[in-house]
Amino acid sequence: MNLKQFVLKNQKIIELVKDRVGGKNDVDMYYGTLDYATARFNTILIKLSQDKIKEAEHTTEVLDCFNAIQDFYNNVQRYRFWPKIIRPLIKLNLYGIGTRRIPKIKKLLQKLDN
């Protein structure tokens, strides 16, 4: 997968965050996480597009970050639209992704800055 495909697949997440209507604090928190994660991920893609050697070195990490964002997005959509009885399980899944996988995006960005 090349960098352009990552950007195109993240476009629906960016549009969702941009067009959202606030009001629910728990869902707003998840949208904020998606906003920060996609912004950092797009910054990573910009930096990697300038250096093909770094792009080749960090291909697996970029794919892991992309999958983390997509999984978080899918679970936020489930949290919003699935029945309320299932929400605690989805919330637990979101917590796991948000504490274990999303911070890898920030670490990769810091690694590329240095």
- Dump pLDDT digits (tens) for 59-79: 999 999 999 999 999 999 999
Lowest mean pLDDT segment, chosen from 17-31, 36-50, 97-111 = 17-31
What is the average pLDDT score of the chain?
Answer: 90
SS3 for 71? helix
- Dump pLDDT digits (tens) for 12-40: 888 888 877 677 777 889 988 999 999 99
pLDDT at residue 59, as a whole number: 92
pLDDT at 90 over 90: yes
Q: End-to-end CA distance of the chain, in Å?
A: 25
Sequence ranges of the domains in the chain = 28-113
Report d(CA 78, CA 72) in Å as an integer: 10
